[in-house]
Amino acid sequence: MFSASSLLTLVTLALGIAAKPVIIDRSPVLSIPLTKVHNITSGHNLVASGLARAQNFKDRAKAHDLAEIRKRQSVPVTNEVVTYLASVGVGASDTQYQLIVDTGSSNTWVGATTKYVPSSTSTDTGDRVSVTYGSGEFSGTEYIDEVTLSSSLVITSQSIGVASSSEGFEGTDGILGIGPDDLTEGTVSGVSTVPTVTDNLFSQGTISEKVVAISFEPTTSDEVTNGELTFGGTDSSKFTGDITYTSKTGDYWGITQTVTYGSTTIQSSLSGIVDTGTTLLYLEENGFDKYIEATGGTFDDNTGLYKITTAQFNALEDLVFTIGGTEFALTPNAQIWPRSLNTAIGGSASSIYLVVANLGGEEAGFDFIDGYVFLERFYSVFDTTNSRVGFATTSFTTATTN
């Protein structure tokens, strides 16, 4: 009989352009290339991209149907600032598409840059598909096709969108959506929801649990091999101690957390979203104001971020997130933008910028986004089987990278 570990199929995505699929040891751990990309046309995009995405989250929480969501999306789209692109094969020819790995959405689609060419494995459903992200949008036709995550991870019948038009995805081909499948509701005509890649990996027997785990590391480079995306379970080599789990809330990968800074309670038992597609850490206005007052940050017109002096940085205390009864501390170094990348966001090379931004006033029970700057310090687990989200410390939690 197979052992439990042999039944657990893991997929790892190594951040980097030149990486090729690699089988690690003799375990079923397969690596897929993933490229970290900075897409910054002005300093304000760093904050604006997250706010545009947050507004879309809020609109969906309040909307009763997709038509209402679309009506609210009248603001110009703003490209994402940091994206992680997986090279995913589609069709009999295994055409490679560079897809954003996104926990904040669930549709998988292609065609933003590299055009989709139907092959012998393609079935045109004739159904229309349309998704708005705040930071972009696409519309087109839904197909059923073969999707190859690696040579040993082939989904034979995956529902994918094929874009006839898209905006906000320059330099990418689409999205690999790994959010809850409820987020696909109303996106494709004629169907209620669309099975995600995680759903199909499970239903086709490739993985034994509908679990996705993510490991990132803080970096000061635009492109670096330092991340891993795991389907079907967790990779114990990527975290330290135990994983703390908390119940999933809402349609997204939502959690409840309390945030403190020193002796100051910033947020108390509020609900929000964990999202790989958001770069910064966003707090609702009241909590954000408390944080800025405590740190002494001042607004910087060039970047849209708040900056602090060297003395204020030396006096920073941990920003502590209590999730599921466990404290996860963002160290002072984890609260600032990588200084070697200051000029990339329109800032001064000698300045120190905080990565905490203002989400705005309380609305629709949505009070924070734990974005990439949080996730690069902690291992995260998105467990559909048990409707929960997990976190653990890593060897990089207290790194002084920035």
Residues designated catalytic: 102, 275
Residue 328 structure tokens = 């996860």
Residue 76 structure tokens = 């110009």
Amino acid residing at 36: K
Give the neighbor-by-neighbor strand order of the sheet with 306-308: 298-299, 306-308, 352-353
Give the residue among 8, 48, 1 at the shortest CA–CA distance from 29: 8
Length of the chain measured in residues: 402
The per-residue DSSP string of 102-161 comes to ETT----EE-SSSPP---TT-EEEEEEEEEE-SS-EEEEEEEEEEEEEETTEEEEEEEEE
Three-state SS at 75: coil
**110 touches 116 (CB < 8 A):** yes
Amino acid residing at 179: G
Q: Which helix (H) or strand (E) holds 50?
A: helix 45-62
**Cα–Cα distance, 287 to 91 (Å, whole number):** 48
**Cα–Cα distance, 122 to 107 (Å, whole number):** 17
**Cα–Cα distance, 188 to 240 (Å, whole number):** 41
**Cα–Cα distance, 95 to 197 (Å, whole number):** 17
Amino acid residing at 29: V
